[in-house]
Amino acid sequence: MLTHESPVLVTGGAGFIGSHFVLDWFSTVGTPLVNLDKLTYAGNLRNLLPVADLPGYHFVRGDIRDRELIDRLMNEFSPRAIVHLAAESHVDRSLVGPGEFLDTNIHGTFVLLEAARAYLDKLDSDDRAKFRFLHVSTDEVFGSLKPGDAPFEETFAFRPNSPYAASKAASDLLVRAWGKSYGFPAVVTNCSNNYGPLQFPEKLLPLILNRAIHGEPLPIYGDGLQVRDWLYVGDHAAALRVALEKGVPGQTYNIGGWNEQANLDTVQMLCALLDEFLPNSPHRPHAQLMKFVTDRPGHDRRYAINATKAERELGWRPKETFASGLRKTVRWYLDNQAWVQEVTSGAYREWMETNYGAR
């Protein structure tokens, strides 16, 4: 019988958003959780050291495309919910190697849905009614907005412009189809750009931070006026927890930070914080390191999330402003340079040298 003490199965729980969800879960809910993660370059068990020895935490290394493994975990742990975070997520990587994104994000989601559906078929009606599948997605499925356009709402059509966005849109549609075709109890969330501690340094903020600290050029795509809606990762983790508890099967909820910023302004704010925190740096002012580079293909001009539905129906609101969240983020990276050095070696360094120039 499924109860509140039955575990939650999280896929991708060693990644950026996933690790914050796991940490938030044990600091607020505290019931058992199983973390399934393949530990690709972006997965890091060091992120989860605070919970690694807790009796309710179980880590399993594995791939969501492995149906035999998923079936075994469902039978062994009898989860009351699945929180599906595992995905290839970096747009630049999807442009040079889209196949892995399609395989993991689309086929992997299909395997997980089918394993969960087979598991549900074995449950009685009461337990089936308790089960939830939370599918975590992105605002990039909606494409790009023009200045003055209304922010993305849950009812907007999908218009993905990158292989990554297309793969996530496809996975969202699979989840929707399983709900409509099989009565599968899925909830979908689409979030805006996440930032905060523990983010792998290929994404904009940690990439710029890492390079600025070392006095390296700060690549700014195109004119730098692309607008992003920034969401502090701790706020996102809390939103996912609430969506799992209160979200209605068949519904989609946009999770955004109400923080639209042009990339150029974001980098300038970050540089100003580094100037403040590192008064003796030989690279001050850090903004002098900015270098405009050729824009990437299909670069969306503007993202903006309307999170009104999540606020109204889930009772969630972000706590951090962009200014407060960015200050926390910069301070964390400066205080945790050992973590940065550990994750910026090997395959990451090779990728950076190929795509952004050698250090």
The H-or-E segment that residue 20 falls in is helix 16-28
**Residue in 164, 195, 253, 303 annotated catalytic:** 164
The DSSP annotation for 244-274 comes to HHHPPTT-EEEE--S-EEEHHHHHHHHHHHH
- Judge whether 210 lies within some domain: no
Interval 120-151: pLDDT, tens: 999 999 999 999 999 999 999 999 999 999 99
Show Cβ contacts of residue 27 under 8 Å, excluding neighbours closer than 6 positions.
Answer: none
CA 66/CA 230 separation, integer angstroms: 34
Is 139 marked active-site? yes
Query: Which candidate, 359, 63, 20, 28, places its Cα nearest to that of 198?
Result: 20
Number of domains in the chain: 1
CA 151/CA 164 separation, integer angstroms: 21
Check residue 294 and report its DSSP letter: P
What's the Cα-to-Cα distance from 205 to each of 106, 118, 238, 248, 262, rounded to whole Å? 27, 41, 21, 33, 13
Residue 309: pLDDT over 60 = yes
- Judge whether 214 lies within some domain: no
**Residue in 24, 37, 88, 140 annotated catalytic:** 140
Cβ neighbours around 332 below 10 Å, total: 16
pLDDT class for 352, splitting at 50, 70, 90?
A: very low
- Judge whether 327 lies within some domain: no
Interval 16-56: pLDDT, tens: 999 999 999 999 999 999 999 999 888 899 999 999 999 99
pLDDT class for 325, splitting at 50, 70, 90?
A: very high
Residue 359: pLDDT over 60 = no
Query: Which candidate, 58, 80, 16, 53, places its Cα nearest to that of 343?
Result: 16
| pLDDT of amino acid 358 | 38
Average pLDDT of span 49-65: 97
| Domain span including residue 13 | 8-194+232-258+298-321
- Judge whether 201 lies within some domain: no
Cβ neighbours around 223 below 10 Å, total: 11
Looking at every residue in the chain, the average pLDDT score rounds to 94
φ, ψ (nearest 5 deg) of residue 253: -130, 125
Is 164 marked active-site? yes
pLDDT class for 350, splitting at 50, 70, 90?
A: low
Residue 351: pLDDT over 80 = no
Domain CATH for 82: 3.40.50.720
- Judge whether 187 lies within some domain: yes
Interval 201-246: pLDDT, tens: 888 999 999 999 999 999 999 999 999 999 999 999 999 999 999 9
- Judge whether 291 lies within some domain: no
**Residue in 37, 139, 229, 320 annotated catalytic:** 139
- Judge whether 28 lies within some domain: yes
